[in-house]
Amino acid sequence: MELTKRQMDIVSAAITVIAKRGYEKLTTKNLAAELGLTEAALYRHFSSKHELVEMILCYFEELSCAVIGRIKEQKLSPLDSIRSFVLNRYELFSENPDLAQVMFSEELFRNDPSFTRQYQSIMHIHKEEVISFIKAAQANGCVDQSYIPVQIFRIIVGSMRLIVSQWNISQHGFDLRLEGSALLETIIKLIEVKK
């Protein structure tokens, strides 16, 4: 996905509008006001609200795939690969709290089944990659092989979703990176082979 600087500005402004006011308030009028543009200027960059939301999801997917690519390039151990992926999510959301609000919004995905399909596709990429790290950790004797990899994935990602939701609800009242890291280390201690 190649976005121009102006399109990226519009995507960022749309994320802010959805995070602060909700999906229903993502209108050309509100978006133009956020950016200091005319409504007509917006249509030169995106043909519809639907296309704009699709671009928000593509933007998130691109960020996620880039992280997975960097992890693979670094040739980290399986457990460090899991750590790197999860801690990157906490870092990303800490730096972009509006993105965290939007990506964990039920409202966005209730409005259009195509958004749900697109988000599920992104989650599938995450799932396949993290499960491959879990299986590798089991194969090298770091993680207990009696655990089903998909269940470990659900524990890791489900706990991430919970803590990010708590962070959003608390108006970012705690250090997401610090709390998220501590939570991940607790999970790793639970699934690691005891030596």
Q: Are 82 and 130 in contact (CB under 8 A)?
A: yes
The helix (run of H) or strand (run of E) holding residue 21 is helix 5-21
**pLDDT value of residue 131:** 96
Query: What is the model's pLDDT at position 119?
Result: 78
Higher pLDDT, 168 or 50: 168
CA distance 26 to 79: 40
Mean pLDDT of the chain, nearest integer: 89
In this predicted model, what pLDDT tens digit does every residue of 82-109 receive, in sequence order?
999 999 999 999 999 998 988 887 776 6
Q: Kindly tell me the sign of the dihedral angle through the C-alpha atoms of 63, 68, 69, 73.
A: positive
Instruction: Decide: helix, strand or coil at residue 75.
Output: coil
Share of the chain above pLDDT 70, in %: 98
The model carries a pTM of: 0.85
- Of residues 165 and 48, more confidence is placed in 165
